[in-house]
Structure 1
Amino acid sequence: MATVKYTVGNEKLVKVLDGASSHLRSLLEKQGREQGALKIAVVGGGCSGLQYQMDLVDGPRDRDVLVESNGVKVVIDPKSALFVSGSELDYSDDLQQGGFKVQNPNALVTCSCGESFAA
């Protein structure tokens, strides 16, 4: 089995707030992946040009950045790390706009739905 070469980051890259860590822990436990992580990627799309894509993963892949914050793990690919540096991850259970939310200081423009941004 090949060794995965990843970088360890810190909360200067992304900080996980209480609501997000609690919900993420719950999701990972339900799937039997207590050692898993939330992968955050920035991809093209959305009404402002860029949007977040999030998935549960077992761990980092080659070249990813692994951040442990508030008792949970977040994995970010190096390209996306440029866009999310300094962000906070929160969770809202609002019926219409609930889910994980990235509060990104690098977003110059955000759309009204809060799902996409421009940097």
Structure 2
Amino acid sequence: MKDRGAPQVCRGKDIMAITLTEKAAQHVQKYLVRRGKGVGLRLGVRTTGCSGLAYKLEYVDELAPEDQVFESHGVKVIVDPKSLAYIDGTQLDFAREGLNEGFKFNNPNVKDECGCGESFRV
């Protein structure tokens, strides 16, 4: 079996592919503390919906060798290589609107979104 090595960790403004706003980072940090474990937040895409792709978020307890790891405001954002092509340059924000709150994706690669906001196309 071939050793793939350690996950690649990227830091610094010029090489950041995925960033978090300060609000998003604070939300993730609070949740990780409450959860009591975890190394960061995994951001990826899955095939679904009218336009083809949807974001997926999950908290990560262990890194895989192929993972790309970006650090923003002290939070690790983990991305698999296949998803990175669709979300490179994305900024993740956390916003509260009325009674609703959640993550907002600012992805410069998006060409079209479905009407319900569930999926996107690049």
Range of TM-score over shorter length: 0.7 to 0.9
Percent identity over the alignment is 36
Q: Which residue of 1 aligns with 2:52?
A: 49
- 1:61/1:4 Cα in 2 relative to 1: closer, same or farther (>3 Å)? farther
CA RMSD after TM alignment? 2.0
Q: Which residue of 1 aligns with 2:20?
A: 16
Q: Which residue of 2 aligns with 1:103?
A: 106
Distance 1:114 1:19 in 2: 22
Distance 2:85 2:4 in 1: 25
Secondary structure at 1:43's aligned position in 2? strand
Q: Based on CA coordinates, which of the two structures has the bigger radius of gyration?
A: 2
Residue correspondences, number? 116
TM-score normalised to the size of structure 2? 0.84
Kindly provide the CA deviation profile for residues 7-47 of structure 1, in whole angstroms up to 9, marking residues without a partner as x.
Answer: 123453111101100100110000012x5200011110022
Confirm whether residue 85 of structure 1 aligns to residue 88 of structure 2: yes
TM-score normalised to the size of structure 1? 0.86
